[in-house]
Amino acid sequence: MAHRINLERRGLLGKLGLVLSLPALALSESRPARSAQLEQLSESDPAAQALQYVSDVSRAKGADAGATCANCSLYGAAGDATQGTCQLFAGKLVKAAGWCRAWSGL
Ligand code: SF4
């Protein structure tokens, strides 16, 4: 009897673990898929120009040493080390090595 209860408990815990891990799995798979749907922010975009966005910080005028999109508090990783999302440019990807005047340290 106790053996049967143990097996039922294991089965229940296994199902519970599966249910709890599904949302995490869905989130981890949605990031690359989501970033694949986003287009790259163009430096000629009026919003990008307003903030003097450049895709390569070496061409920026006025950037603090070491400041890039990758270490900006408004940057979000998008499953690709070379680019990510930015809270200021919804629906677009910015380059990790990029920069704009709204850069904000972590
Ligand atoms: Fe890059 Fe930050 Fe400017 Fe967004 S706000 S473009 S992440 S420097």
pLDDT value at residue 79:
74
Q: Which of 36, 35, 40, 4 is nearest to 48 (CA)?
A: 40
Ligand 1 center from residue 24 Cα (angstroms): 27
Higher pLDDT, 102 or 6: 102
For residue 100 and ligand 1, the question of a CB distance below 6 A is answered with yes
Q: What is the mean pLDDT of residues 21-49?
A: 71
pTM tops 0.75, yes or no: no
pLDDT of residue 8: 67
Share of the chain above pLDDT 90, in %: 60
Ligand 1 touching residue 102 (CB < 6 A)? yes
* Mean pLDDT of the 25-32 span: 49
**Among the listed ranges 33-37, 72-76, 90-94, which one has the minimum average pLDDT value?**
33-37
Task: Compare 25 and 88 and report the one with higher pLDDT.
Answer: 88
- Residue 101 is predicted with a pLDDT of 98
